Structure 1
Amino acid sequence: MVAPASADSALGTRIRELSRAHVFTSWSAQQEIDPVPIAGGKGAWFWDHDGRRFLDLTSQLVNVNLGYQHPRLTAAVQEAAGRITTVAPSFAEQSRAEAAAAVAGLAPEGLDKVFFTNGGAEANENAVRMARLHTGRSKVLASYRSYHGATAGAIALTGEPRRWGSEPSVPGVVHFWGPYLYRSEFWATTPEEESERALTHLRHTLAAEGPQHVAAIILEPVVGSNGILVPPPGYLEGVRALCDEHGILLILDEVMSGFGRTGAWFAAEHWGVRPDLISFAKGVNSGYVPLGGVVISAEVAATFDHTPYPGGLTYSGHALATASAVAAIGIMQDEGTIEHAAALGEQTLGPQLRALAERHEVVGDVRGLGVFWALELVADRTTREPLPADRMKAVQQACVARGVWPLVMGNRVHVVPPCVITHEEAAQAVALLDEALAEAGR
């Protein structure tokens, strides 16, 4: 366990007061929140200014894959700042070139070019723009259970309720239902049925929209914010086949699932699916400096060999951000982070989280890969009625009181710690979650 720096409650109070007075917080009713001022962190732990420390099951926003304050990663940012701080996209620059080569080297064969952005939403915006220009088509299909970002185009792609406040939005997006066996839209009873029926639904949606008008289908290979939904066997392969049949591009949003989160560099590796475009961000550099991007297939990239790409960002491939990506990828390779994340899922998180379902009636479903897991909590296992908000809050408070910080999304607890959490720390976190579920159950 990491000891926090000396507590300074007065500083914590000042930060809280300044934040409440001047910081406009995303996705929040401003007068109904009271954010905890964070003083520091190390590895899988963070602490506040009162000296309280927490084992982090959130990775902040599922992005601190290498944990807090990795010395080699922070040193890389410092070294880059000493060399040069910013270079316009029209110039070539060392860390930008090395980061692009490193990311492309991890992608499936034939995806060799990288367009850098400042985050995941911009990555998805540009992936869709590329798909539309490459195909000459306008429509894009996206799942209802998805989140692709909050910029104008990305929130239009998003299927879940966070898009409602931005509607009417960018035209041309059509939503469909993806697989989710626990709450199947297709009356399926097995993973195989769910996969087959979800693909039939997608085929029917394509037919209704006219596949000749569809530029791309965008998917999170493992759905993140909407439930850590691991696709059933054959689903991603079936979507790839549908795209190939109709000349549609497949965009995989790996913003959350990429760079170790599922125990692979990219989640699509689990199913051997090659997309045409990959959007990424978050784990590529553990969020130490804002960075995202699109990995582009040779076929799509060739569209812009002699025709200018009509898009760009002042900070595309920012020198400090790309330097941190080069360092982060090197760290993951040298320290076996991907293999460690896979082992955590197989040996510790998976078995121990599933054991919670045997001890607590409130746990309706457990699912995940690597360090990407969700417990779906229900008031009744037979009806699968979601656990109400007041009881979810009780679970969250019980966790915090025990020194573990959960990521609560709707009626789910997402267990998404840094990929560097140890097996012992992961077991400790699950044990504390076990206690919190027991207390909230009472």
Structure 2
Amino acid sequence: MQTNQIFLLFCGVLLALGLAAFFMARAKATRTRASGTAMYAQPDQYAWFSVLITAGPAVLVSAVGAFAMLLLGAEIPTLYLLASSLAIAAIGLLLGLKQVRPDFHARQAIERVIQGILAAAAMVSIITTLGILLSIVFEAVRFFQMQSFWEFITGTIWNPGASFLAAAGRGDEAGSAAQFGSVPLFVGTFIITLIAMMVAIPVGLFSAIYMAEFAPDRIRTLAKPVLEVLAGIPTVVYGFFAAITVAPIVVDIAGVLGLDASYSNALAPGLVMGIMIIPFISSLSDDVITAVPDSMRQGSLALGMTKAETIKSVVLPASLPGIISASLLAVSRALGETMIVVMAAGMRPNLTANPLEDMTTVTVRIVAALTGDQEFESAETLSAFALGLVLFVVTLALNMVSVIMIRRFREKYRSNNL
């Protein structure tokens, strides 16, 4: 019998056991309750508890076995694994029926199971984050054993050269001449992100204020979905738009003003990235502004303030923590963008503050370092993990700053209301 047939048979038998547990437990609880005995839970609650104790351990054992086979390489016969899971399900069915008694709190037991499932889901995200961090840290440590950490942080030249030959036992001179100064990469990242935020925050915030405070319902119903469509456009399409349309326009405008601009300039991807990020700020800010109680607006207007003054002095301060969160989320999105920068700004590490010149970002260099046929043990490849670690720290610092700012604004707003 093939594996997929065995799996289908397992699912069918487990479903049958679950249905049997549900109806048998409910029937038993109904009979007990009909006899006049007071019970702590409803018959359906006993039934669902029986289903959980029947199917839950069986599914858990199967998942653990599959994990051991796929990721750890354990040799476990599929038939034996699924048969043992069904045996556990049968035992769970008997235990579930045995627990159908007046003094058993089935409702509380179900809530504890659900709470455990939710806690496990939360732990998955935490463990995943720790796994990502540890995998980056271990490889970054290997890179810093080859290159100086201080030179990596403060160096102004990024030139891996032929450092990949050193890992193959050749080209020691080329490997030692490689320079891994990350300053040009982070400068390019921050400049392009700053340009994007200068476009996204004003436009996104103003559009959110208009849709939440001024737009009629028919316009809001049409405008908000159309605006959110921008978030669903693939970044490669934005990259085409930046490289083919926006970059030549920037060069033409710079020529009219007497400035020299490269067709692979940083201004074009920054502008297009800002357009891409507008829905993040607009949608979240709109939800936050709409959530401000209408009684606050009515009270402000009753005191003689105009609608514009109400928005400025009442609505925006009340929604400021959410607006800050939306802006920081947009900044994180801009810091991690790659495709638009590759297609419109190029891949040359260029330490300059002129947005009309070409430059690149950290994420672009990470992609470049991890693609191609270079040796994985080389400093150039491992530099991707060092860049990723520093970018992770920068993003974490931004999130911590946002949390502190949100708490201060909330405390200030609460104290002003008091």
TM-score w.r.t. length of structure 2 = 0.22
Larger radius of gyration: 2
Higher helix share: 2
TM-score by length of 1: 0.21
Higher relative contact order (CA 8 A, sep 6+): 1
Structure with greater strand percent: 1
